[in-house]
A and B are shown apart, each in its own frame.
Chain A
């Protein structure tokens, strides 16, 4: 069974940093493009970042570029998100999601999702 399991969430002070991890199992992780998506309480989904299977292509939401860094370790079937200078607006459930992206055809979808990890930014 395809599974993604996020970890690393928790309570952090404004201005602080956090590193999220996502462990993959049940599918060929090294062949999958991966993403981070977040959802603030009572709000819709917000895409954060995409990393291709070999880490060659990386994209970020403009509003988060410079503060968030996505990376992966295919040998360990793991995806990461480094988050810096956190504010209360970053409070959300953070989902790890795998899928497909063809930039030239504008074709993008996410067919494997984790359960999410909650990040709370508060003093």
Chain B
């Protein structure tokens, strides 16, 4: 059972927009920064978004992040087949004093 809750899967057609949610609590998302990672099949995770909404250099602006209260959202617009991957949210839990990940969301581009 992950501290952060993500939907197991989402899907959308090429060119469409998809949102991936990440829900936590006051000891984590509510008072910390959220990061997002993309994990293509068979590869290591790659940092996409840090500090809630800052894109890593080289990440296209089709990827954006936001946070409100105890939830965070990753939005991907103009979906491409190459975006098919698992997406993970992450933050630091100030009560547990540990890093925490969401369970991951598998994105399928139909």
Contacts and interface: CB of A to CB of B under 8 A. Distances in A.
Answer yes or no: do A and B interact. Answer: yes
Interface of A: 35, 37, 43-47, 50, 59-62, 95, 97, 99, 101, 103, 105-111, 113-116
Chain A interface SS verdict (over half): strand
B35 interface: yes
A44 B22 CA distance: 14
Contacts of B103: 44
Given A44-B88, A44-B102, A44-B103, A109 B97 contact: no
Given A109-B35, A111-B56, A113-B45, A101 B88 contact: no
Contacts of B92: 101, 103, 106-108
B56 A106 contact: no
Contacts, number: 84
7 A-B pairs with the lowest CB-CB distances in the bound complex, closest first = A106-B32, A47-B99, A44-B104, A108-B92, A109-B35, A109-B50, A113-B44
B2 interface: yes
A62 B21 CA distance: 26
